[in-house]
Amino acid sequence: MSPAQENQVNIIEGLKERIGGGNVLETRIARVRRIFLTVKVEALKAAVNHLAAQGFKHITTISGIDLGDSIGVVYHLDREGLQLSVKVVVPENNPVLPTITDIIPGAVLYEREVHDLLGVVFEGHPDLSRLVLPEKWPDGLYPLRKKHSVEDIKRMVNEVA
């Protein structure tokens, strides 16, 4: 095992130790400098806290993915080129997550973007107003959810306009 790989394994083990192995649902070392993790929603805050203390202070972005009946939210953290993606899964009908802006202030816009496009609510976020969609956009229409096709969105937007 090369030192880089060892380092990656150490990061995962460190996290498991800190937040409890049961809270880490899935780990995958895709290649050098790429780690994918899935953690439980309850453990998200603790995981980000721990990782930020480990030097993962830079958040590249937050991606939201519609997984059908649930929504995946991926936090892409970075430490000097090592990209660590922490994924949590929230149910589609009640997508609520705690904010991480108190740990990493740079996540403000990314959380707003995910809120705008997928309807995930970040509790404790200072200002979850519209970021990218227009003011007149219909409430409850989240363009990146799979159940809204492009045609649907067009129709709904035109109805409001």
Partner 1 sequence: MKLPESETTFQIPIGPQHPALAESENFTFTVDGETVVDVKARLGYVHRGIEKALENGTYIQNLYLIERICGICSHAHTLCYSQNIDEALGIEAPPRARFIRTIVAELGRVHSHYLWLGLAGHEIGFDTLFMYTWRDREVVMDLQELITGNRVNFALFTIGGVRRDITPYAIEQVRKGVKTLEERIQYYKKMCAKEVTLLKRTVGVGVLKPSQAINLCAVGPLLRASGVKRDIRKDDPHAAYDEVPFNVITYDGCDVASRLFVRVDEVVESLNIIRYALEHLPDGPIRVKVPRRVPTHETISRVEAPRGELFHYVKSNGTDKPERYKVRTPTLANIPSVCEMLKGGYVADIPITLASIDPCFCCTDRVAIVDAVKGKKRVWTWEQLSRYSEKWHGRR
Binding to partner 1 by residue 132, rule CB under 8 A? yes
Strand partners, 117: none
Max Cα distance, the chain (Å): 60
| Contact status: 158 vs partner 1 (CB under 8 A) | yes
Under 8 Å between Cβ of 8 and 29: yes
Distance CA 71, CA 74 (A): 10
Report how far residue 77's alpha carbon sits from residue 143's, in angstroms, rounded to the nearest whole number: 25
Segment 5 to 24, residues that bind partner 1, using CB under 8 A = none
**Least distance to partner 1, CB of residue 85, Å:** 7
Min separation Cβ 134 and partner 1, Å: 7
Task: Rule CB under 8 A: choose which of 18, 60, 98, 121 binds partner 1.
Answer: 60
Q: Single out the residue of 11, 1, 94, 89 nearest to residue 47, CA to CA.
A: 11
Query: Which residues contribute to the site for partner 1 (CB under 8 A)?
Result: 30-31, 33-34, 36, 57-61, 63, 65-66, 74, 76, 80-81, 83, 85, 104-110, 113, 116-117, 130-134, 143-144, 150, 153-154, 157-158
